[in-house]
A and B are shown apart, each in its own frame.
Chain A
Amino acid sequence: MTIVSLVLIIGGLVFFAGGSVGILRFPDIYSRLHPAGKMDTMGLFLTMSGMAVYVLRDFSLSALLTALKIMLIVVFIFITSPTATHAIADAGMRAGLPQWTKHPGGKK
């Protein structure tokens, strides 16, 4: 049970590291939103489910309640993270933030 939880947490850490490097290296704001959204959903889901499995290693009612609360946080973030990402992209579009192009100043 602890091996399963450790594997899940390390898999989530891989997603977190990839998302952080993506936020650092992508060229403009709209493409930076893509690793931010991936990190919030997949990395947090794997990490939180690993912790929930570790909490459930010796089964009792309070442990089950704690694991359910952890998965409730995951469901909450699955709803709110796309909303926040869409709000940031919408703010950028409405304020007229220019998009990144390979050839600035028109196509060649």
Chain B
Amino acid sequence: MQTAFIYVGIFFCLIMLLPLYRAVFGPTILDRLIGVNAIGSKTTALLILIGLIYQRVDMFVDIALAYATLNFIAVLATSRYFQKRKGLYKDQ
């Protein structure tokens, strides 16, 4: 079962590369924000998977909850910061 979890974790890391392209080459700032949010929500699942691999789930659950909170606050603060910039996206 441990090897199955390791393979699932590797598949998670490979899937994370697709939103990473959107986060690096996104045409606008909000596209980059979507990519970062998608990577963060995958990391929440990956942290519990790491806990299952190392058999310390009770510790990694708290880290995953803190990471989910931090991801939500970062997305909310960034989108509130960029919403009043009129003319920011005129060049595309």
Give A residues with C-beta under 8 Å from B: 2, 6, 9-10, 12-13, 16-17, 19-21, 23-24, 29, 32-33, 36, 39-40, 43-44, 47-48, 51, 54-55, 62, 65-66, 69-70, 72-73, 76-77, 80-81, 83-84, 87-88, 90-92, 94-98
Contact = CB atoms under 8 A, between A and B. Distances in A.
Tell me the interface secondary structure of chain B in the complex: helix
A91 B57 CA distance: 37
A96 B83 contact: no
A37 B89 CA distance: 23
| B interface bracket (residues with beta carbon within 8 Å of A) | 35 or more
Contact of A17 (B1, B15, B44): B15
A96 B42 CA distance: 30
Given A13-B8, A24-B18, A70-B61, A39 B41 contact: yes
B30 A36 contact: no
A99 to B, nearest CB: 12
Contacts of B48: 48, 51, 70, 73
Given A23-B38, A44-B45, A91 B8 contact: no
Given A2-B1, A97-B89, A73 B34 contact: no
B44 A44 contact: yes
B34 A72 contact: no
B15 to A, nearest CB: 5
B28 A88 contact: no
B68 A90 contact: no
6 contacts: A16-B42, A23-B34, A84-B37, A87-B76, A94-B84, A95-B82
